[in-house]
Amino acid sequence: MKLQVVGCNHHGSSVAVRERLAFNAAQARAALDDWRKTFPQTEAVLLSTCNRVEVYTASENDEQGPSHEAIVEFIASFHDIPVYDIFDDLFERTGEDVIRHLFTVAGSLDSMVVGEPQILSQVKMAYELANEQQSTGPLTHGIFQAAVRVARRVSTETTIHQRRVSIPSIAVADFGSQIFESFDDKHVLVIGAGEMGEETLHYLRQAGANKISIINRSFDKARELAARWEGQAEPWESLLSALVRADVVVSTTGASEPILDRQQFERQVAPGRFQRPLFVLDLAIPRDFHPAIGDCLGVYLYSIDDLSAACQKNQRQRDQELPRALSIVEEETSRFMAELSHRATAPIIRRLRKNWEAIKGDELTRLFNKLPQVNDHQRREIEQSFDRLVNKLLHPPLESLRDESRQGTPHNLLDALKRLFQIHDE
């Protein structure tokens, strides 16, 4: 049995490398089709996200599976990239380390933001796509179904997934959810076109927000960001009227002083809002909204310092949960490897016992032919004696095999038993 994963991720490869090697859905389908033709006896699942590109492979026979170099060549060839350009960027894991790695990935313990929920659905989608392309088989079915089980255990038995540690995710999920039950009917206004604002938009979209306006001093940049998020760009001059309409504000400008003070808010924004709740995420440094605006009726104003404090608290709490999550991965890895070992050893045990039972049967027949005078009671006693003898002789090798299986390393002993007792593959 041969298990491998070859790929790259955010730990050891740059964004540029991951972009070159990434597969969209159509490319993944084509690659898995090519895989089936190139390595027909090896199962494969291709996981491609913004943070990782990993090819998981499994074959029943050690001799059938492709080498590390062959998998790298396959990836490079598909993307029309020279092998030497990417070889050093692609790691390889084999055997038990493959299982541990996948379980860690599915449980979101290997993510750039530990505990983020998207990776499990991405693992499921990769597995389902491989099923559709018929590149999976018994081994990958077992491995990926177990990975989903592990991820669910991590989610239910720890609070890893509840401890968000990125400022945008905390802003939306921890703070915004205290103000609004949902975001699908809320008008989101983003002031500025920075990365933090766009990341916050990502979480707002996930929470259901679909009405988005973008305002930036450069209207062209506002229009670019609006196009990416299917929103509407508005000129800087419409800032005050946009604030009247907004329910959620994300502000990330690079202004050197506040773009709005309390007096402006009370005179030009508040009268048109009729005390509707306004959730303001001031992610700018220096702050875009004067802190006194937070004292106005219906305004919930949070600065980046407020969110950073929540991040640090969540980080501490999540770090306390991490050992428990990793112990689940180790427990499930050991369990799965034992199941794989049993799968490998069971046929050998069955054939060994079958061979010895055949020998026992032949000897009993020969003995009873020579002793026709024995009665039924004596026959049963003799048969039971032979049974006990066979079981006692089989016990040491089978017990050793089971011990090796529990440790996940039965292969050398299996090969020795097959040679010693001349057990041939069926």
Range(s) within the chain of domains with CATH label 3.30.460.30: 2-162
As its CATH architecture, domain 167-311 has 3-Layer(aba) Sandwich (3.40)
Catalytic positions: 50
d(CA 150, CA 328): 7
201 three-state secondary structure: helix
Residue 348 burial (CB < 10 Å; 0-12/13-18/19+)?
buried
Under CATH, which number does the domain 2-162 receive? 3.30.460.30
**Where in the sequence of the chain do the CATH 3.40.50.720 domains occur?**
167-311
C-alpha 24/C-alpha 146 separation (Å) is: 25
In tens digits, the chain (426 residues) has pLDDT values of 789 999 999 888 888 888 899 999 999 999 999 999 999 999 999 999 888 999 999 998 777 789 999 999 999 999 999 999 999 999 999 989 999 999 999 999 988 777 777 789 999 999 999 999 999 998 999 999 999 999 999 999 998 877 666 778 888 877 888 899 999 999 999 999 878 888 889 889 989 999 999 999 999 999 999 999 999 999 999 999 999 999 999 999 988 899 999 999 999 999 999 989 999 999 888 899 999 999 999 999 998 888 877 777 777 877 888 899 999 999 999 888 877 776 666 667 777 778 888 888 898 999 999 998 889 899 899 999 998 988 888 778 777 766 665 555 555 666 666 777 766 655
Cβ pair 209, 279 in contact under 8 A: no
Residue 287 near residue 302, CB atoms below 8 Å: no
- 11 vs 7: CA distance, rounded Å: 11
